[in-house]
Chains A and B, each alone.
Chain A
Amino acid sequence: MSQGKLKFIAAAALLAFAVDSQVLAADARCISLKSMAEVEREIVDDKGGKSVKRVAASKVVPGTEVIWTITAENTCKQASENVTINNPVPAHMQLVANSVTGAGSDVTYSLDGKAFAKPDQLTVKENGADRKARTNEYKHIRWEFKNPLPAGATATASFRAVLE
């Protein structure tokens, strides 16, 4: 084995160590956050009965309503506190009124991603006058969970948006 090759291996080992330590640090992160896009489909059974089922978003065209679900699972042994989920309304989509859910959370909205407020405090300037912002003008959603998220527990937030 040549000198040069040995040096290379040593360097590679160092690099591997560095990567390992990053992975360890990542493991220390206590929340696994997942985002999911679904649509509702009407299912007709053999007897003609109808039911609504959620499937992975497909056959989405302008006007279709998509359900976005975000789940936060506490993967540590300690509780997580002040869990706050932020989600911008996806580009080309408009938030559907009264579609935001998140059990145990206070929900606020923002037009610019900076100032978050309850719906009645969001205003838009139009023709020189202030008016209340419409739901489809909200660009960001924030869920602030009031109670700590126990180890192993999952918090769910969701909203519906229509494709422009």
Chain B
Amino acid sequence: MKSSLRQIKRVGLACVALGSIAVSQQAFAEGTAAGTTIQNTATVNYQVGGVSQAAINSNTAEFLVDNKVNLTVTRLNAAPGVSVSPGGTDYYTTFKLTNSGNKTQGYILNGSLAGNGDANLTGVANPFGAGPADTIQMLNTRTFVSGAACDDTTPTPTYDSSTDTTVFVDSLAADDCVYVFVVANADTIAAGFINGAVAAVRLTAQARIANSGAATVVPKHNDDADIPGTEQNIFADAGQDATESADSVFVVSSATLTVAKSSAVISDPINVAPNFKAIPGAVMEYTIRLTNNGGADATGVVITDLLPTNGISFTTAQYNSGASDVSIQIGAGAPTFCVAEVTAGPSADGCYVTPGGVLTVGAPALTQVATGGVATEVAVRFRMTIAD
């Protein structure tokens, strides 16, 4: 296709007579196809005794274009990597595999025709330069070829587990590319699986004979004897091993909760503010602060607090003009309230005190602690009175 275009361009050139000529810069991208014969014939004009002789053509010198085996693997995800939540599944990072040689090739991915991933990269530096090295491993790492067309005009594809099931590249024309996903699940309980921890993954592709099911290795002829006229395989990638790779990272984004409990005397029978003392009859306000400095919201949060019993008792009707027992405030926002009736639970508003004396505050009164530090911290308040 390319060569016939070039042919047309030549004809175009011939039509323009002398002087300057319009040409466009030739694309050099994929190179002349392997198996092409390049020929040269020279012509000589001369005179003998002042008489012009018939022009003479040389023999046709020629050579065969050999198979330049070359490939590139590039990571498409931007820094800092793909965010994963503990326990989440089918996270993926996307690579682009390009046949930068001059002949159609197949490719095996991550050294496996089964599509197994290569994720055990402990200590591998963060490919983005900045950021931590690999300290954790993803689970069930897999490699799949995207069914989406690979070009510069369409956006990077999304992984679809129902359709993106091919695990090797059977045939990729020169200068063409495919998108490849490395897919993995995030562990929930593994040590070190904390916010900001990094799991590196590597996509490795090796050229194989096209249409062999990526099973047939390409024989390397770089150091073999020259065989003019026979197409030889010349490995032109960096390591001359027909193999290239690129790294990407998954970054754990999880909640990092801190809990702090404090108390203050807010009234007593004798003194005036601010000189209240913890004397019999005084009311104590307890505050439980939940702060999330992690990368993800903490959801399903439930607070339980075994209330003290020795000379102090839970005091109801302290908030919301006496209608509620517990106050819940997010950041500097207006508080919401709930009623902590005594029940084995659960209760409709999420707040109750068990017969054993455990204050429980959960959904719907308290559902999550959003990431954001002090600005989004949750303060749960309740009051107790010191016995007379």
Task: Identify the A interface with B (CB < 8 A).
Answer: 29-37, 55-63, 66, 68, 70, 72, 76, 78-88, 90-94, 111-115, 123-126, 130, 136-137, 139, 149, 157, 163-164
Q: Which of B19, B68, B102 contacts A115 (CB 8 A)?
A: B19
Measured CB to CB, the closest approach of chain A to B2, in angstroms, equals 9
Report if B60 contacts A (CB, 8 A): yes
Q: Is the interface of A mostly helix, strand, loop or mixed?
A: strand
Contact across chains for B32 and A62 when beta carbons are under 8 A apart: yes
The answer to whether B61 and A62 touch across the interface, beta carbons within 8 angstroms, is no
Instruction: Tell me if B22 and A70 are in contact (CB < 8 A).
Output: no
B54 is an interface residue with CB less than 8 A from chain A: yes
Other-chain contact of B13, A34, A91, A112, A149 (Cβ < 8 Å):
A112
**In the complex, what's the smallest C-beta–C-beta distance from A108 to chain B, in angstroms?**
13
Interface residues of B in 46-64 (CB under 8 A from A): 46-50, 53-54, 56-64
Q: With A and B bound together, what is the CA distance between A84 and B221 in angstroms?
A: 40
Residue of B nearest to A89 (CB): B40
Q: Evaluate whether A61 and B102 lie within 8 angstroms (CB atoms) in the complex, with A34-B58, A37-B40, A111-B13 already known.
A: yes
Contact indicator B43/A36 (Cβ below 8 Å): no
| Whole-angstrom CA separation of A60 from B65 in the bound complex | 5
Binary contact readout B315-353 vs A (1 if CB under 8 angstroms, 0 otherwise) = 000000000000000000000000000000000000000
Q: CB of B18 within 8 A of chain A? A: yes
Tell me the minimal C-beta distance from B301 to chain A in angstroms.
61
The 4 A-B residue pairs with the shortest CB-CB distance, nearest first, are: A62-B31, A61-B68, A57-B63, A58-B226
Contact B21 A125 (CB under 8 A): yes
Tell me whether A60 and B31 are in contact (CB under 8 A).
Answer: no
B42 touches A163 (CB 8 A): no
Q: Say yes or no: is B3 at the interface (Cβ < 8 Å to chain A).
A: yes
B234–A82 CB distance below 8 A: no
For A164, what are the chain B residues with a Cβ–Cβ distance below 8 Å? Answer: 26, 28, 31-32
Q: Return chain A residues, CB-CB under 8 Å to B221.
A: 59
Contact of A92 among B13, B16, B38, B46 (CB under 8 A): B38
| Chain B residues whose C-beta falls within 8 Å of the C-beta of A72 in the assembled complex | 44
Q: With A58-B228, A112-B21, A125-B21 in contact, is A30–B46 under 8 Å at CB?
A: yes
The answer to whether B162 has its CB under 8 Å from any CB of chain A is: no
B14 at the interface (CB under 8 A from A): yes
Residue numbers in B under 8 Å from A92 (CB-CB): 3, 32, 36, 38, 65
Contact of B21 among A55, A84, A111, A163 (CB under 8 A): A111
**In the complex where A59-B232, A61-B65 touch, is A80 in contact with B47 (Cβ < 8 A)?**
yes
**A151 → B minimal CB distance (Å):** 10
Q: How close is A88's CB to chain B, nearest CB, in angstroms?
A: 8
CB distance from A34 to the nearest CB of B (A): 6
In whole angstroms, what is the CA distance A160 to B277 when docked?
Answer: 99
User: Whole-angstrom distance between the alpha carbons of A59 and B353 in the complex?
Assistant: 84
Q: Which residues of B contact A78 (CB under 8 A)?
A: 48-49
B41 within 8 A of A: yes
Residues in chain A near residue B130, CB distance under 8 A: none
Tell me whether B45 and A29 are in contact (CB under 8 A): no
Q: Considering the chains assembled together, what is the distance between the CA atoms of A83 and B53 in angstroms? A: 10
Q: A58-B232, A111-B13, A125-B22 are in contact. Are A37 and B63 (CB under 8 A)?
A: yes
Q: Which residues of B contact A87 (CB under 8 A)?
A: 40, 42-43
Listed A/B pairs (10) with beta-carbon separation below 8 Å? A30-B46, A59-B226, A62-B28, A82-B45, A82-B47, A83-B45, A111-B21, A123-B20, A125-B20, A126-B23
Evaluate contact between A60 and B66: CB separation under 8 angstroms: yes
Q: Which residue of B lies closest to A163 (CB)?
A: B32
> Bound complex: CA of A111 vs CA of B22, how far in Å?
10
A61 B47 Cβ-Cβ under 8 A: no
Asked whether A59 lies within 8 Å of B234 as measured between CB atoms, the reply is yes
B224 to A, closest residue via Cβ: A59
**With contacts A56-B226, A112-B14 known, is A37 near B62, CB below 8 A?**
yes
Contact B44 A126 (CB under 8 A): no
The residue from B13, B32, B60, B236 contacting A35, defined by CB atoms under 8 A apart: B60
